[in-house]
Amino acid sequence: MREVSQVINGKRVIVKKPELLAPAGNLEKLKVAILYGADAVFIGGKEFSLRSSASNFSLDDIKEAVEFAHAHHATIHVTCNIILHEDNLEGLEDYLLKLDEIGVDAIIVADPYIMSLAKKLNLKLEVHVSTQLSTMNTSAIHFYENLGVDRVVFAREVDYQDLKEVREKVDIDLEYFIHGAMCIHYSGRCMLSNYFSRRDANRGGCSQSCRWYYDIFEKDQQLNHDEIVPFSMSSKDMSLVDELPKLIELGVDSFKIEGRMKSLHYIATVVSTYRKLIDTYCADPDHFNKEGYRKEIEKAANRALCTGFFKDFPDSQYQLYNQRDEHPTQDFCARVLHYDASKQEAMIEQRNYFKVGDTIEFFSPHHENILIQVKEIYNEDREAVEVANHPMEILYLKCEQPLSEFDMGRKVLTNEKIVLLLVLLEEVLRVKLLFLDKCMSFLKEVIQHVSLNKTIIIKTKVIFLLKKE
């Protein structure tokens, strides 16, 4: 087992710091992931990659990504993790050669043929075994080692005790998921999407059928008619933010964040939080204070969180997704494009609704979080406006504290508004919409102050009740 820590100048420090591996669905997200602290980024090309509905990268995009990453001392991993059908073979060899020529650092593969082909072509890039192969034991790892692979990405179903035992027995690089979506089938190998929407989940077309709402029947009897929301097979998202010290001490080589489809704000928040946690713990593990990291993660959470399979095999009450069990207090609203120190003014790109009087928290890889109250908003024509409600509009805000390009602004939602929203929902649900007509205007007012995801939840519940009525 590799040495993880040493005593230096009388203080124990972690000398084997794990790689932080982040997702990116396009170039903008890739740059943000690296600027906010990712050591490596995994991306998908236009071919041979899962997540076909993501923007994905052309070869020119991949080249630009590699150049940006290497300039910032980061690496690029390209997913080639589809389950190959016969019609997927054409062009594969040329594609791998081009990735190698561009300077890609690693490919992530799920088909043994791609593993053998990469070695046959004598490529300089590394070959990583995808989580799609559900690797969970040392014998399987040794099998892939004999094929010449450089790293194994564990299945999400591997718990801490199994991980610990495997780490002690193998020397190959191990990659472990620490944050993101969970699948209801082993590490993403699912057929639901194929059957329900004719979209192949194992070739990049997953329609996330496990997250749909279902009515459950036994013969002619409906079993879930008393539920507030219909049954969903989907699991909660995983977050190991509280468990990360254990994984660092174990000597896991790479910590993986899932989410090539996730937003810019999500990637920036999650990556920066884990970056700070890893660096702080490794610098002084014996005096580490874990407070605050989970709260920061929850600012970007759009689904309920759990620890997945880390502690033990989870039951349905713990893992299956139903209603949210936490409520975000902030909503992504702006990205900083430029800061003029002489004018104490930030030029921003608006991403979601905010208005004069709102409080915005700017977070950054370069400075501590900054809170400002919006007193004035100006458009590109330097006209004063009261609200920012045109996505991607260029606006100007006064801010006495310096900001940096790529800083993210999050609108702080007041506890009062959240409480009012929840009270309203409870009342609507209690009287089964009889109250809805009288409070519709108020509902619309509150909805514009909450996150998009929460708005979707509201609408889903209301639609479900309408169907029942």
* pLDDT tens digits for range 80-125: 988 888 887 888 999 999 999 999 999 999 999 999 999 999 999 9
CB contact at 8 A, 360 and 412: yes
Please tell me the CATH code under which domain 330-412 is placed. Answer: 2.40.30.10
Rounded CA separation 7/91 (Å):
52
Token duo for residue 400: 């006495």
Domain with CATH 2.40.30.10 in the chain: 330-412
Please state the φ and ψ torsions of residue 370, each to the nearest 5 degrees. -120, 125
Helices assigned H by DSSP within 263-333:
264-283, 293-298, 316-319
Contacts of 375 (CB under 8 A, 6+ apart): 356, 398
pLDDT at 458: 52
Mean pLDDT of 443-452: 50
269-315, pLDDT tens digit by residue? 999 999 999 999 999 999 999 999 999 998 887 778 889 899 988 77
CB contact at 8 A, 115 and 148: yes
The more confident residue out of 275 and 321 is 275
Token duo for residue 24: 């990116």
Beta strand 11-14 pairing with 5-8: antiparallel
CB contact at 8 A, 146 and 115: no
- Tell me the CATH class for 5-319: alpha beta
pLDDT at 422: 52
CB contact at 8 A, 23 and 37: no
Amino acid at 407: D
pLDDT at 50: 59
How many C-beta neighbours within 10 Å does residue 434 have?
11
Mean pLDDT of 229-250: 87
Amino acid at 408: M
Domain with CATH 3.20.20.70 in the chain: 5-319
DSSP secondary structure code for residue 421 in this structure: H
Residue percentage of the chain with pLDDT more than 90: 60
pTM (two decimals): 0.83
Is the pLDDT reported for residue 415 higher than 90?
no
How many C-beta neighbours within 10 Å does residue 469 have?
8
Is the pLDDT reported for residue 182 higher than 60?
yes
pLDDT band (50, 70, 90) for residue 456: very low
155-158's contacts with Cβ under 8 Å and 24+ in sequence apart are 155/131, 155/186, 155/187, 156/131, 156/182, 156/183, 156/187, 156/238, 156/308, 156/309, 157/186, 157/187, 157/309, 158/309
Query: Which secondary-structure segment (H or E) carries 442?
Result: helix 436-447
pLDDT at 444: 52
Is the pLDDT reported for residue 8 higher than 60?
yes
pLDDT band (50, 70, 90) for residue 209: confident
